[in-house]
Every structure is written in structure tokens, then in C-alpha cells.
Structure 1
Amino acid sequence: MNQVIKEGNEFIGYEYKDIITEPERASLYLDGYRHFGWVPDDNFQVSAAKGKITLKLKRNRKLLNKAELTRLQRHFDSCVNELDKIQKSATFPPMMWAILIGLIGTALIAGSTFAVTADSPMILLCVILAIPGFICWAIPPMVYQKLLQKKQGQIEAAMEQKYDEIDDICQKGDKLL
């Protein structure tokens, strides 16, 4: 007859959570969620698919202060989402300006092409439109880099503030454990 041997002092019931995130955010989630009682589930490996990572976590169901920890965890999640928005906001305006300048260059080149292919070709107008058109095609990468550098300086302070807020949330969670 099979005999079940009980190892350990007591039964622990767990709740489970899957987090799907980008690889660069995985460490932040693992480190942060530890302060809310979550630990990596040893029964599963971290899986990756389509540029995303799935983290499998578990925590004791009978955790004290669970409601407050869950509230802090949601606040942590919203701060991480705001970090992503801040990073995306850095690249959006420079990209839009670069695209706009490129489109203006395309319109100028189109005007130049129509000027030279008209019934009576207007070579002078073609040259007048082509020169700024080619310039507008050449400068978007430089404009993008300059505006991105300027915007990066502005958002570094906002990101540092968010990281400080995340640290405060994690410290509060750690005190509740």
C-alpha cells in the first residue's frame, strides 16, 4: 500500500498570476511583485513568444493585509504603464515632425515633376521646387535625432519621478508583509 509522507509543517494554498510583458520590463515586475507577496512559480519556466515574456507567479492565499497589498499592486501596475507611456511620448513628436518634413519634400518633388512634364516644360520652376524637396528628404533623420535628444532630457526627470514612486509603493508593500 502506498503511504503518503507529509513534508513540512502545514499546507499552504497558493493563488497564481501570469504577467505578460516585454523582456526589458520582466526584472521590474519580478522585483516589484516580490514586495506584494508574489514569488516566481518554480514549477514553470519563464516562457517567451512573439517578443513577450510570460512570468508565472504565486503567493500564499492566507496572506495578511491582502486587500491593501492588492491595492498597492494595482498602483504599481499603473506606474509601470505610465513609464511605458512616458517612453513612447518621447519618440512620437520627433517622429511626426520628421514625417511631416518628408511629406513636404515629397510634395515639392511632385510639383517639380509636374512642372517638368507639363505641355510646355518649366525647367526653372522644376529646379526651384526640386532643391528644397531634396533638402526636405535629407533632413528628417537629423531633425528626428535633435528633437529626440531634446525630448529625452525632458522625460528623464519624469521617469525618475515614476521610479521613485514605484520604490515607495514597493516599500509600503514590503512593510505589510
Structure 2
Amino acid sequence: MMAEITRNENNFIGYEYKDITVSRSMESVYADGYANFGWTLEDTSTPVQGVGSVTMKFKRDRKIRNKAELGRLQRQFESCAGQIESLEKAKTNGAMIAAFSIGLVGTAFMAGSVFSYLAGMLPLCIILAIPAFIGWILPYFCFLSIRRKKTDKVTPLIDQKYDEMYEVCEKANGLLAK
């Protein structure tokens, strides 16, 4: 949401305002980064619908110099931050899907085991219970293994995006100083 106020003579400063909702883990990145685009953090609040997110309220001088270039760099910064958040989620998404799938198969075996017990087929009940318990124990270790591998693969990409984001902030800060 943006509202603009005009600048008059002498000491009056017109501000433009911006509210953004970001994940709590990226709050400090946005607070530090937006300062390089001329924004000043006014307030933070937790939105009603957003568990794990925070709404940040910024303002800046409406007559800031190099506004168009700062806007372009800010969009580039926001793109990098979004990609970082996606990469962070990617660390666990595949691992969770694999773990849930294995757990679901284990549960299906347990259901078969229970129904075979109820039908009076004790040997089949025992045979189906073995993969069921394995299917309930294995997901934890599978999750850890896949997450570790994915983290090792994604961490250099995240670091690369942070470096790109800091270069953008450095360029924007240089424009503010002019």
C-alpha cells in the first residue's frame, strides 16, 4: 500500500509509505536492505492471518534522488530475497514428501495387519506388521538424510543469492550518497 504526500516549501517533507509482509526469518534482511533504498523502518506488527510472518511499515522521502533506479534495484533485491526463501523451503520440502509417503505406506501395511488379525490370520498379521513398523520408523531417518543432502546442495546457491543481494544494496546505497 502506498500513499503519497506532496512536498511544499521550506522544511516540509512529503513521504511515501510501504507496508510489506515477510517471513519472520527474513525480517532483519528486509530491515537492513530497505535502508539502502532510502526507506526507514517505522513499525513492525504480526498480521492476524500470518503465523510466522511479520508486517513491516516503511517510509521515505518522496523527492528522493535516483528514485527510478532505486526502484529497479529494490525489485531486484526483493527478487533475490524471494528466491532465498524458496531455496530455504526447498531444503525440507522433498524430505517431507518422502517421509510422509513412507509413513503412509507403513500405515497401509498396519491397516492390513489389523484387518488380517481381525480375520483370524495371525501369520499374515505378523508378516504385514513388520513392514508397517519399518514404515513408521524409517521416515525420520529418511527425512534427515534427504534434508542433509539437499542442504548441502542448496547452501551454495543461497550464499550466492545473498552475495547478489548485498551487491544490489551496495549499488543502491551508492545512489543515495550522490
TM-score by length of 1: 0.86
Query: 1:7-156 counterparts in 2 under 5 A?
Result: 10-41=11-42, 45-50=43-48, 51=51, 52-118=53-119, 121-156=120-155
1:49 deviates by: 3.9
Q: d(CA) in 2 for partners of 1:126 and 1:56?
A: 60
Deviation at 1:47, TM superposition (A): 2.4
Deviations 1:50-105 (A, max 9, x none): 44322221111111110110011111111111111111111111111111111111
Size of the aligned set, in residue pairs, is: 164
- Structure with the greater alpha carbon radius of gyration: 1
Aligned to 2:156: 157
Which runs of 5 or more residues in structure 1 are unaligned? 1-8
Give 1:129 deviation, angstroms.
1.1
TM superposition shift of 1:146: 1.5
Deviates more, 1:149-158 or 1:108-117: 108-117
1:19 CA drift (Å): 1.9
Matching residue of 2:172? 173
How far is the alpha carbon of 1:157 from its aligned partner? 0.6
Aligned-partner Cα distance in 2 for 1:57–1:100: 43
Instruction: Tell me by how many angstroms 1:163 deviates.
Output: 0.1
Identity within the alignment, % = 46
Structure 2: where are the runs of 5+ without partners?
A: 1-9
